[in-house]
Amino acid sequence: MTGRAPWVLDNAGYLSAARHVPSPNCDDRPDGAAIELLVVHNISLPPGEFGGSGIIDLFTNRLDPGEHPYYRDIASAKVSSHFLIRRNGELIQFVPCNRRAWHAGQSEWRGRARCNDFSIGVELEGTDDRDFGEAQYEILARLAFVLLGAYPIKECIGHSDIAMPYGRKTDPGPHFEWPRFREMLSQRNQ
């Protein structure tokens, strides 16, 4: 990509291109846990609304339960993700890649439980029933390319593919275009 500064991932797993907003909702990965999975999610707070502070507030334990009726049930949740890609393509990092973010919940991938132990979580600001934007696909592909070069990631999947019991989660949803994302990623490898 000519004219763009390279994205650098430091030894702790912080990405130079991201705005860093530290989340306390993380911990150390188990000893010897290799990062083998990239998990794509979607989130909007309040549901169906974009651009506000709700997602950041949730991941940093500052969500005000009185601000919106939906927040009453989730304000005490201790959750996070490594990255968030806003509708406009802004990239925010909450947890360094070398630490375990709390994004997958009860999960299983190819017979292995506790996917948080060996995955990186990327949230797309969005919902199951709306298309994602071009900027989001471009940033996600560029991010995935960097992560695939830095870690032994074997697969990029959706939260719905690992959430246990199956059917508990539906994100990134039917409007996420997996073939488009994989094509963008393959073009970066050429």
Task: Determine the Cα–Cα distance for residues 179 and 158; give it in Å rounded to an integer.
Answer: 13
Q: Examine residue 46 and say whether the peptide bond preceding it is cis (omega within 30 degrees of 0).
A: yes
User: In sequence order, what are the residues at sequence separation of 6 or more whose Cβ sits closer than 8 angstroms to the Cβ of residue 185?
Assistant: 141, 144, 145, 148, 156
**Annotated catalytic, 49?**
no
Neighbour count for residue 129 (Cβ, 10 Å): 9
Neighbour count for residue 117 (Cβ, 10 Å): 17
- DSSP strand E in 29-69: where? 37-43
Contact 180, 40 (CB under 8 A): no
User: Which residue out of 36, 49, 67, 123 is catalytically annotated?
Assistant: 123
Contact 54, 75 (CB under 8 A): no
Instruction: Give the residue numbers marked as catalytic.
Output: 123
